[in-house]
Amino acid sequence: MKTDLSYKGIRPVPPPSPAVAAPQDFPPAGPPALRAEETLLDSLVHHREVVESHLPLEDVQRIFRDRNVEFIAVQRTGRVLGLCSRGQIGFLMGSRFGFALNSAMPVESALTPRPLIIPHDLPVREVLARALSRHGGEFHEDVVLVDREQRLLGLIRVETLAQLQSTLVAQQVDELSQQHARLQQQNLELFQANHAARQSQGLYLGLFENHTLGVALLDQQGVIVQRNRQLEELINLGNGAVAAVSLAAWVAEAKRAEFLALLEAHARGEEAPGAREFMFNIPGRGSRLFRCSMGWIRETGQICACLDDITEQRGMERVMLQQEKQKLLDTLVGGIAHELNNKLTPVQGFADLLNSTADAGTRRYTELITTSVMEAAQIIKQLRQLSKPAGHEAHSLDLRRVVEETLLVLGFKLRDAGCRVSKHFSPHPVRVLADAGQLKQVTMNLVLNALDAMDGMSDAELTLTVDEVNGQARLVVTDNGTGIAPEVMGRIFDPFFTTKGPVLGTGLGLSLCFSIVRQHEGEIAVESTPGMGARFTVTFPQDMGAPPLFLPGPEERPPSRTTPARWGDQRVLVVEDEEVLRLLLQEMFSVQFGCRVDVAPNGVEALAAVRRETYALVISDIRMPMMSGTDFYLHLRETHPALARRFVFITGHPGEKALETQITEWNVPVIAKPFQLSRLIEICGPFLEISMPGRDIA
């Protein structure tokens, strides 16, 4: 039975704060759930028994008998003074006369000599070091745990600390074993990483040195830190050159600031274009266009730049693009010319018919109509020059003489501009088969463009070279003017593109030059550096054949007859898909020739008509649905060869040059729309005359 000792001076310990474990009587501390060094000291407390320092030994002995503990804390005014042990109290009270002598003595007189009192925030390892390093009887004493105000938090048995020490040692041994295993794994991984690094380095060096692109590692100012052999070749660096060079120094001045800004953007880690194109001025190689791909290497603080020389590629792309544009222009202009000529033809034709029977006042109006139609036809012809310049006046020419005559025409313009002209002509004739007027037009356009580029310069110089190179006749026009900006280089041959503004230029000059040169199976190329002038090179094959005589315009031949004439009762077949043109031709042949006229809208119906009737003349359009005029003619050559020799084509635009050549080889006359009545009489009259009775049509 327990004895109530509160009246004797035993004072209860106040409950711990929420952070401290709830008080227990004296259950043994179990194994810690945490790692040993992370164990909370409060969780190791065995009990919290405490007595006041003035309590007699007799009462303390009674407490020890009631409590199964070996040590009890002693405090005064709430602050721990030390420990008293069951053994020490028993020794004092159990000796002879001990009870009589010592029972009334206060417990503070029987404190252990050197109790271990530790604060609750002391690290576990230090607590273990202090507790387990004691000697003798002190080793077995409990450890007193107090807070900052020296108030008791509880007593920790040394057995608990020894168990904790064993756990800690076991954990350390386990950790050492794990560390050993990790070190072995790390050594293996390090070996593998070193082996992979050596392989990567070899692969890097192989790719770096043998890459088809020029590769350079740059600092933020564009200085080359490292480069491969391909870059040395691209920028013309000797293999022995070791001095640091700046890649930015070779960028064209107009783009240098942009190049440096791109380097800075990569260095700051900002979003920047991965690839850009820059013009480089390479010593010994001139201006070259490079595609630069850049990326920031964070580990080395450098910029990796890959350079690809695309100068020739861009040149080829410009040529191909220009050819595609020209093909599109051919199709567009051909269609427009065909449709417009079809619409103008009845206007002109009916005006001619009215003119033949009209009075003087009406003739004045029909003449005005004829004038307007001819002017419109001339405009259409000029428009066709953009796609397919006429080449029917080709002759064998000396290119030197063509250029000389052009310079004579431009003599006043050259003197007025104060331009010095240098001529470098071959001592021998440079012969080409071409149209003299068109070659003069090409030369004139190139010279005038050069003068515009040198406008206002005091040292303007124009150089013209005519010579033979690799079997080609060559004309080179060079100036020292402002040059052509790279961004517009690909568009200078486009129709209606000009950098001169609407007052000085229409954008048709170079486009027409390109068309004329292409029509003569030649080539035109341009080289330019901004601020250093431009160089246009035109080449023609020396054995180019003369283009065929084709599509003479209405103004190119004088009318043979202007008054109605009758050739007898002949039958004519008109093949035309435009209804108004069928009516016009039907009326013209009826009124002017006195012929009977059959009409067909396409070649299929025309073939059916030929099988039914006999005709003195067939006049057919070229472009028609279902069966074209040329296909119809080929059928006639096989089935009615005599009628095929009395055949005339009429067209607003023939189409491809190969077709023009083919029709010329067939020796079939062609009437170009729009035409005058006199032109129809001139071409068709002879066929109807020889078809009269008694005439041979073979």
Each residue's pLDDT tens digit, 355-409: 777 777 677 777 778 777 776 776 666 566 555 555 446 778 888 888 988 888 7
Which of 24-38, 254-268, 334-348 holds the top average pLDDT? 254-268
Looking at residue 615, what is its pLDDT? 93
For all residues of the chain together, what is the average pLDDT?
78
Give percent above pLDDT 90 in the chain: 22
Residue 662 structure tokens? 């083919």
Q: What is the third-level CATH fold of 16-168?
A: CBS-domain (3.10.580)
Q: What confidence tier does 444 reach under pLDDT thresholds 50, 70, 90?
A: confident
Is residue 217 scored above 90 in pLDDT?
no
Lowest mean pLDDT among 145-159, 230-244, 265-279, 408-422: 230-244
- Tokens for 12, please give them: 């209860």
CATH assignment, 394-541: 3.30.565.10
Question: For residue range 418-440, what is the model confidence (pLDDT) as tens digits?
Answer: 888 889 998 888 899 888 778 88
Mean pLDDT of 526-555: 67
Tally of CB atoms within 10 A around 607: 18
Q: How far apart are CA 194 and CA 188, in angstroms?
A: 10
Most confident of 75-89, 327-341, 476-490: 75-89
Return the bridge partners of 313, or none.
none
Q: Which CATH class is domain 211-309?
A: alpha beta
Tell me: the pLDDT tens digits for 449-479?
888 888 878 888 889 999 998 888 999 999 9
Beta-strand runs (E) in 10-104: 50-52, 71-76, 79-85
Q: Report, in this order, helix, strand and coil percent for the chain, each rounded to 5.
A: 45, 20, 35
pLDDT-derived band at 27 (thresholds 50, 70, 90) equals: very low
Task: Say yes or no to pLDDT of 316 above 90.
Answer: no
pTM (predicted TM-score): 0.40
Confidence bin at 23 (pLDDT 50/70/90): very low
Name the residue with higher pLDDT: 545 or 203: 203
Domain boundaries, given as residue ranges, for the chain: 16-168, 211-309, 315-381, 394-541, 571-690
Decide: 526 and 492 in contact? Cβ < 8 Å: yes
What is the distance between the alpha carbons of residues 370 and 364, in angstroms, rounded to a whole number? 10
pLDDT at 420: 87
pLDDT for res 379: 65
- Give the whole-angstrom CA distance, residue 639 versus residue 590: 27
Distances (CA, A) of 659 to 69, 122, 250, 293: 125, 107, 52, 48
At residue 649, the pLDDT reads: 93
- Contacts of residues 136-140 at CB distance under 8 Å and 24 or more positions apart, as own/partner, are 138/112, 138/113, 138/114
Q: What is the mean pLDDT of residues 533-546?
A: 77
What is the tens place of the pLDDT at every residue in 267-286?
777 777 767 788 888 777 77
Question: Quick check: 345 pLDDT over 90?
Answer: no
Domain covering 571-690: architecture: 3-Layer(aba) Sandwich (3.40)
Judged against a pLDDT cut of 90, whether residue 330 lies above it is answered with: no
Between 147 and 262, the higher pLDDT residue: 147
What is the number of helices (H) and of strands (E) in the chain?
Answer: 20, 23
Residue 532 has what pLDDT?
Answer: 83
- Strand 71-76 relative to strand 50-52: parallel, antiparallel, unpaired? parallel
- As a whole number, mean pLDDT of residues 606-625 equals 92
- Over residues 80-139, the pLDDT tens digits come to 999 999 988 888 888 778 788 888 899 998 899 999 999 989 998 899 989 888 988 888
pLDDT of residue 16: 42
